[in-house]
Structure 1
Amino acid sequence: MVNVFEKVELANSYDSYYETEQGKTIDRIEKELIGKILKNAKSDEMLELGCGTGHWTEFFEEIGYNITALDISVPMLEIAKKKDLMAKFIHGNSEQLPFEDQTFNIVASITMIEFVSNQEKVIHEMFRVLKPGGLLVLGCLNADSVMGKTKELSETFRNAKFLNPAEIEKLLIPYGKPEFFYGVYMNDQFEITDGRAQSSEPSFIAVKTTKI
């Protein structure tokens, strides 16, 4: 799979989306969901995979985590490293993590799994480096949502492999029982309808899995 995030122009414009009104709303909803999952976590050490420009790294630091952050995109990492963050940034491939077995208590990855070549291998690597009883936190883009059904219109998402809840569960169930949390409901006009009557599939799926 071509890594669109190796494009310098995309890396440079990535964070600007979160300055738009829609971007701010989506960011708030997603962070509320992920924050709830992490609220009672028993460790402050975290491995973040697919950290990109450090957008989520910054959030994880704000809520108290010490982070090792890995990404395959050099342009994205260069932006992340310029931010005033304490995280240890590493250039690496999530399909071959440079860590020993059972190293971390928490692994988090937000909207990365859609962009890897081998999703099964990445999930295996995530659980390999997790300690028994450790927590995997995923943020996924829903294949059944309006965003998923129109992804060919987006240069960023065109070649990505979105997953629906059943597909996510199939990937995770060998390692632990996943719990699902949903948000960012969009109608056909891409208007966010969270907090109102829902007649659409959620675009964002937050998933919590404890390693067995």
Structure 2
Amino acid sequence: MSDVIEKKTLTNVFNALGKELKSIDNQDSVLGAYFYLKQYEELHEITAALPGNDLLDWGAGYGHFSFVQSSLGKKVHAYSPVEDEYTIYPETLKNLSKKSSFTYELTGEPIALPYEDNSYDIAVSCGVLEHVREFGGDDEKSLSELYRILRNGGCLVIGHLPNKGSWIEAFSRATGRTHHTYLYTKSEIKKKVTDAGFEIKKYKRYGFAPKNTIAVFLMRYNEDSKWVKFLTKFIYGMDKYILSKLFPWFAQNHLLIVQKPK
């Protein structure tokens, strides 16, 4: 696997995922929006460039991350620690697995992973760790389980982990909008991963702009139009290279790449 994923290649995979989502149960919603999918661009670039091929998508969601990583060449297994009725769009997950080469597993076990020690090269937690306590799990025990199933030198990528200092979370709570129950400070999440045995290879906070709100607005228009894609790239560029760097304390998310010692 190349250390660099071409933007064109990733965009083509995003477009393919968007089309698949729209063809499944008429989900021409924010799930298929180019703007929404682009939120995961950096995570996909990081994960695809990591050494090793066996990848565990811990949390699974509706299969979007597994679909992309599988399309980029990883051998992916999607795992959801909750049963069907609690999984986001389980039918979408199942249908996407048929369109790609990844496998999936839905269980009602919130902590223990059904894999032997040293089974995977990479594990990904994308918007999952902050939710495990909501269905009877424990984030620290989950980190220990992820450590156990990774091979020596294997990496865990944690993304979309809500920041306790996020202005978006504060605004959402104050106005009664949907918000996360559990938030993390920089020191708290760093302590949790190191207590589990991991070494931190990369850390940053990102996402100052309210991207979900912007995505819903842009969905009113044809996402394939040149001006929408130009505006999407402009907003993401401003957010990534200017806003998130100027105001990292108030950004929405934490991103970590942590490694099991070799």
Q: Which runs of 5+ in 2 are unaligned?
A: 1-24, 215-234
The residue aligned with 2:60 is 51
Query: Residues of 2 paired with 1:25 and 1:38: CA distance?
Result: 20
Preserved CA contact (<8 Å) 2:48 2:74: no
Preserved CA contact (<8 Å) 1:94 1:125: no
Preserved CA contact (<8 Å) 1:15 1:55: no
The residue aligned with 2:125 is 109
Distance apart, 1:15 and its partner CA: 8.0
- Work out which of the residue numbers 247, 256, 259 in structure 2 matches 1:199: 247
Asked if 1:99 corresponds to 2:120, the answer is: no
The residue aligned with 1:89 is 104
The residue aligned with 2:157 is 137
The residue aligned with 1:119 is 139
Distance apart, 1:82 and its partner CA: 1.1
Preserved CA contact (<8 Å) 1:46 1:67: yes
Q: Secondary structure at the match of 1:135?
A: strand
Preserved CA contact (<8 Å) 2:205 2:255: yes
Preserved CA contact (<8 Å) 1:30 1:184: no
Preserved CA contact (<8 Å) 2:206 2:254: yes
The residue aligned with 2:217 is none
Alignment of 1:27-42 (within 5 A): 27-32=37-42, 34-42=43-51
Distance apart, 1:109 and its partner CA: 1.2
TM-score (norm 1): 0.79
- Larger fraction in helix: 2
Distance apart, 1:94 and its partner CA: 4.6
- Work out which of the residue numbers 165, 168, 187 in structure 1 matches 2:189: 168
Query: Residues of 2 paired with 1:165 and 1:26: CA distance?
Result: 25
| Matching residue's letter, 2:30 | Y
Query: Residues of 1 paired with 2:131 and 2:26: CA distance?
Result: 18
The residue aligned with 1:8 is none
The residue aligned with 1:182 is 205
Using the aligned pairs only, state the percent identity. 20
Per-residue deviation, residues 88-140 of structure 1 (Å, max 9, x unmatched): 11012351111111211111110001111111111111111111111111111
- Larger fraction in strand: 1
Distance apart, 1:78 and its partner CA: 2.4
Identify if the C-alpha distance between structure 1 residues 79 and 111 changes in structure 2 by more than 3 Å, giving closer, same or farther.
Answer: same
Query: Residues of 1 paired with 2:28 and 2:257: CA distance?
Result: 26
Query: Residues of 2 paired with 1:29 and 1:79: CA distance?
Result: 19
Identify if the C-alpha distance between structure 1 residues 112 and 13 changes in structure 2 by more than 3 Å, giving closer, same or farther.
Answer: farther
Q: Which runs of 5+ in 1 are unaligned?
A: 1-11
Distance apart, 1:66 and its partner CA: 1.1
Residue-pair matches, total = 193
Preserved CA contact (<8 Å) 2:30 2:36: no
Query: Residues of 1 paired with 2:142 and 2:168: CA distance?
Result: 23
| Matching residue's letter, 1:90 | E
Query: Residues of 1 paired with 2:172 and 2:131: CA distance?
Result: 13
Q: Secondary structure at the match of 1:180?
A: strand
